[in-house]
Structures are given as C-alpha cells and as structure tokens.
Amino acid sequence: MTRALAVTALLVACAAPQPAAHVAEWISDTSSYGPSALPPPPAPTSGSLSTTPIADYATIATKIITAARADRGAYAKLAQLTDTIGARLSGSPELDKAIAWAVTTMKADGHDVRTEKVMVPHWVRGTEEGALVKPVARPLHLIGLGGTVPTPKGGITGEVVVVTSFDELEAKKDTIKGKIVLYNVALAPYPAERGGYGDVAPYRGIGPSRAAKLGAVAVLVRSVTAHSLRTPHTGALRYLPDMPQIPAAAVTVEDALLIARLAEKGPVTVKLRLDNKTLPDAESANVIGELRGREKPDEVVVISGHLDSWDVGQGAHDDGAGCVMMMQALTVLRQLGLQPRRTIRVVLWTNEENGLRGGKAYAKDHAAELGNHVFAFEADSGGFPPLGISFEMKEGTKAEVLAKVTSRLVEVARLAAPIGVRDVKVGHSGADVGQMVDGGVVAGGLSTDWRTYFDYHHTEADTLDKVDPAILADGVAASAVIAYVIADMPERLDAP
C-alpha cells in the first residue's frame, strides 16, 4: 500500500495456455449474511441522542477514547490475521482465508455483515535471483516488482546503466538499448519537504516502461526506503500502453549503492532471473460490516482499510493494522451502546496493492447511492500514532463548502486531541476511498506519525512485532470518535 501514491499494476497474461480462473469456495454466495444471531446491542445512551454542536460531543468522545484505549481487541484481531493467515496477495488462498476470517469475526462482534464480489488480478511470484557478474561476482538481494513479466528462461545478463532521475535517463538515451537500467533514486528520511514517497514511487511504477521505450531489456529499482538492513522492498509497477514490457525488480539500498559505486569506475554486468507469472483473474470480495443508523440508516459513513497485502512479511502495518482499527472501532461503539443517526459501514477492501479493483468496484456498484455517503474514511498509514485527517473533495467544490467541511473536521479532530490528533488538511485521502471523490463523496485518510513506516513497507519485515498494542488502540479510539461524531451530528459533514 501506498498512502501517498497508489500505483496500479496492469498484469499481463503469459503466452502459455492458462488454467481456468480461480474461484474461492467461500464466495459462492456474496449476498448479505444478515444480522448476527447474537443478542442485539444495548439501547443507545442518552448522550447519543444529542442534537448539540460538535464541541458538545466531548463527553461522548471521552467515553469512546477511554473504552478504546483500555481495549486490546484490535491487537488480538491483528495477531489472528497475521500469525494465522499471514501475507494476503490478491488471488491467493491466504486472501480467501482472510476474507472468510473477517466475515466470521465481524459477525461474532454483532455486526451486520456481507461480501460484495470483485474480480482481481492473480499474479504469482516464482523463483527470483540476481547477481553481479562483472567486475566482481556477488549475489544481489532483490525482489520482483508486483506484476512484472518474467525473464526469458535462464535469465537476462546485461550491462547496467545507472540513473538518478528521469531527466538523466533521457540524457543517456543513446546508451540504453540492450542494457539493464538501475534507478538509483533515494527516499529521503521522514519528515521531509522533498523526496517523499510520492516523488520516488513513480520510478518503480512507470520506470520500467520509460526504460523499455529506450530499448532497455530489464530494470532494477533502488528499494523505496530511507533506512535499510539489506531488505528489498516490493511494490506495484504499471506498464504503460503500447510500450514493451520488460522484467523489473527492486534491489536493496546497499546493492544499489554498490552497483553505482562500481559503475563510476567502469562497466558493471548483472544477471537477473524472474520466474513470475500472471494467471486469469480470480474471484474475491470486499467485506462489509455495519452498525445501522437509528434515524437516517440510508446515510452512510464509511470507515475502511485494505485486507490484501503483498506476498512478503505478514501485512501487519500495511494494512492489517488499518483493517483491525476500523473493525474494532465499530465494535467499541456497539459495546458502548452508541448507535448514531447514520449508518457506520466498515469496508475491508480487496486488491488495493496491485489493482485497486475493490475500491473501483465499490464506487461503481454504489454509484447511485454515493449521494448518501456522508464521509468515506480510510486507514492505510500503518498502526502508528494517529495525528489527524487528510481529506479531499470533488474538483470544483465551492470554496464556502470546502471551508465549512474543513471547519467541521477541525472540530471533530479536536475531540480526539487527548490522543494526539491535531492536524486537518486538504490533501490525499486514500487509494480506495479516493475512488468515490468524483461521485461527490468527502473522502479522508487517517494521518499517522509514519516516520518508520517505510522501514518495513512491502518487505518481509512487516510483521506483528512491529506493531505496538497501545498505539494501535489509539488508532481505534481516533477512528471511533471521528466515525461516530460525523455519523451522529445533526447536519451532514458537507452541508452548505
């Protein structure tokens, strides 16, 4: 996942005959599972019937924060998801298991649960290896980019051309044909004014196509991280139309710097072998759980995270943490008997990492209802301390409406100030909820103190031990307060 920039992988079918599309057994019925058989939630407390301004939700917000911070349900859920199921790439049996687990878990918490069918890409990682051949013989630590085509059988051996920008690639265009291009572009440490994820990720996303256009036979990309212990970082690439598709892999920061140093002294040759493949699209689903509104159940506040992950590590911060935060936020509200005016809907997206099919399908399938979506919120910045809300609205929104939404969100965020939430800004919301913005929905993302996020991002190191249970609970608290107040306040968030 990428919070600042989501790069969609366009997966290519292999030339060889392919097996039939994978169909998950659990998805044979994607209709609503209906209300849980568990006893109904307690009657709403008197506080939840408030018709007062946002600031007067302070008592309820304190109640939510206190309950959420004392609760470890989110961490228990994350442990089940990561340790029992693990990595969950689209099309894999593990994602099927995760979807079934999410349905069962939210039903057990008393929520109304259903799934909505989505067809997703099915790319499978095979044997991957690389090595320096000249001027020294040494193995390279690498990982194929998501969606990469394979190398020819036996691999590719070629001389490396090192570049640090697209401008340098163009300047060296006469030297690229038949070569392997290395994009040695550094991610600056966070916080940073420049060199952030959104600046560097395009080299991974469209870099292979840019190099292929000039005749390159393969691409290596420096892993997108500021701190490395020789761990390669994967991520999606996006082959541009009408351009050759060439193999692409990420190498560790250490190996990228080694190749660059050697290239300053003379020619460098590497060998690359990727045995990955693309299968027919697979059947998957978004998982939806709801706490129905008491007065305006057809008006909806979406809170969400993406259930899929890359096929390395456990997908703990990206984005297991976001999923369990939203699941547990809904559970805390139900346990407290806080039934808001409007419906709060948890959506656990499928296929954020290499296709955004879940977010796109939801926006399309619910197009007629988007006018009743009051707010769509996403957590995809890891299980780190919550800091605020980054939100966006449809292009052309009147300035006075944008100002009112900003003012209301500032008031809502102020209610979560005891746990560090303080920032509200216009900016990127989230890759999945962002699909609803053109439909007129106010979309927001939970901003976090993610200075160490890219140390683990898309690697084998994204595991449960990196997540702090108390900090994860703070994310639950922040999400629950934001969701409840926006769902319960008398006027819509986007009211003129």
Element (H, E) at 133: strand 128-134
Clarify whether 116 is annotated catalytic: no
Give rounded-to-5 percent helix, strand, coil for the chain: 35, 25, 40
Residue 318, token pair as written in the block? 């990206």
Burial of 243 (0-12, 13-18, 19+ CB in 10 A): middle
Given the residues 299, 352, 353, 378, select the one marked as catalytic. 352
For residue 195, the SS3 value is: coil
DSSP assignments along 262-318, one per residue: HHHHS--EEEEEE--EEEEEEEEEEEEEEE--SSEEEEEEEEEEE----SSS--III
8-state DSSP, 494 = T
Q: Is 65 in contact with 477 (CB distance < 8 Å)? A: yes
Strand partners, 132: 138, 270
AA letter at 225: T
Rounded-to-10 torsion of CA 9, 12, 18, 22: 20
Which backbone phi and psi does 142 adopt, to 5 degrees? Answer: -140, 170
For residue 343, the SS3 value is: strand
Residue 330, token pair as written in the block? 């809904």
The distance of Cα 263 from the centroid of its chain, to the nearest Å, equals 36
Q: How far is CA 227 from CA 7, 252, 253, in A?
A: 22, 10, 8
AA letter at 423: D
Element (H, E) at 335: helix 321-335
Q: Is 178 in contact with 269 (CB distance < 8 Å)? A: no
Distance CA 380, CA 386 (A): 11
**Listed residue (195, 198, 212) closest to 148, CA to CA:** 212
Return the active site residues.
Answer: 352
